[in-house]
Amino acid sequence: MPPIRNLAFVVNESKTGAPELAEALMALAREAGVNVKRANTHPVADDFLAGQDACCVIGGDGTLLGIAAQAARTQVPIIGVNRGSLGFLTTFSAEDIRECFPTLLSGDFQIAHRALLACSTGAGPDDLALNDVLIKAKVNSRIVSLEVTADGELVTDYDCDGLIFATATGSTAYNLSAGGPLIHPSAEVIALTPICPHTLSNRSIILRAGVELVVRNIHRESTLLVTVDGQRDYPVSNREPITISLASERLPLVQRRDYAHFSVVRSKLNWSGGVATRARA
C-alpha cells in the first residue's frame, strides 16, 4: 500500500488512556512527516475525512461505528485501536499499535473490505450500517408485528421484540447476543435474527447478496424505530416500508499482514481448544 501522508484521528476521550495514546501516535506521525488532524467530539463533521489517506480511531467499536459510514463513502481506510471492551472492529491493542505504527505509516498493511447494509426508511435519509439495522417499537415495552419480504416474496410475519438485520461483520454483535449465528466477515450475506419471537420455530435466516428486504408494520397504530449501528435512530410512521440490502460501498479496514480472524474470535469469546489445548493432547 502507498505510505500514509495525511492521517485523521478520531479519539474517544472518555476511554481510559485514549487521549494519551492519541498524543503519542500523533507525535510519531509528525516525526515521520505525516500531516495529522484530530476530532474529539462525536459525530464528526460530514467532510472530516476529505483528503485523508487513513483514519486512526482510538476508542471502542462504538467509536469506530460512528465514523464507518463516512469512511465507506470516501474509501478512507480505518485503523481501529481498542480502548474499550471486546473490540472486534478495533483490532489493534494499545501495545500492538505502538509497536507497528511506523510500519503502518509506511504502507505495510493489508485492507479488508467489509460489507455494509444500505437502509432506507421511507421519508427518512438513506444510511449505511457496518454492524446491523435494528427494528423495534418506538415504545420499548411493546412487541412488534412485522411482515418481511425478500425480493417481493413473503418470508413470514414476526411477532417479537424486534428484528436484527446484521452483516457478517455485525454477526458478533447484537445478532450473537440474540442467538444468531457467527459468520465469517468475508461472507457477503445478511443475517435476519428475531428478538424473543413469539413463535419458537422462528430462527435466524441467512440471506444471499443481492436480495432486497422490505419490512412493513402490520399493526398500523404503532410507530417503529429503526436504529443503525446503535448510532442513529429513525422513527418510521406506520405506513412507511423499510428497505434493507447489501450496500454497493465496502468499508476499508486496516489489518496487520498476520491478522487471523479465528484467533481474534477465540480470544474475544474465550473459546477453548487453542494451541495450548492441542499441545497437551
For the CA atoms of the chain, what is the radius of gyration? 20
Beta bridge partners, 164, equal 134, 193
Catalytic site residue from 61, 127, 132, 229: 61
- Tell me the residue type at 220: R
Report the pLDDT value the prediction gives residue 239, as an integer from 0 to 100. 77
What one-letter code names the amino acid at 185?
A: P
Q: What is the pLDDT of residues 148-198, one digit of tens each?
A: 999 999 999 999 999 999 999 999 999 999 999 999 999 999 999 999 999
pLDDT given for residue 247 in this prediction: 97
- pLDDT < 50 regions, the chain: none
User: Tens digits of per-residue pLDDT, 116-159?
Assistant: 999 999 777 799 999 999 999 988 778 999 999 999 999 999 99
Domains of the chain: 6-109+256-280 (3.40.50.10330), 115-248 (2.60.200.30)
pLDDT of residue 270: 82
Look-up of cell digits 455485525: 170
Q: Cβ atoms within 10 A of the Cβ of 99, count?
A: 12
Residues 60 and 33 sit within 8 Å (Cβ to Cβ): no
Instruction: Please give the span between the terminal C-alpha atoms of the chain, in angstroms, as a whole number.
Output: 41
Question: Is 61 among the catalytic positions?
Answer: yes
Alpha-carbon span 40 to 75, nearest angstrom? 21
Instruction: Write out the H or E segment, with its range, that includes residue 255.
Output: strand 242-255
On whether the CB atoms of residues 208 and 150 are closer than 8 A, the answer is no
Q: Which three cell numbers stand for residue 185?
A: 466477515
Classify 280 as helix, strand or coil. Answer: helix
- Report the C-alpha gap between 261 and 172 in whole angstroms: 12
Least Cα distance to 117 among 190, 179, 204, 186 occurs for: 190
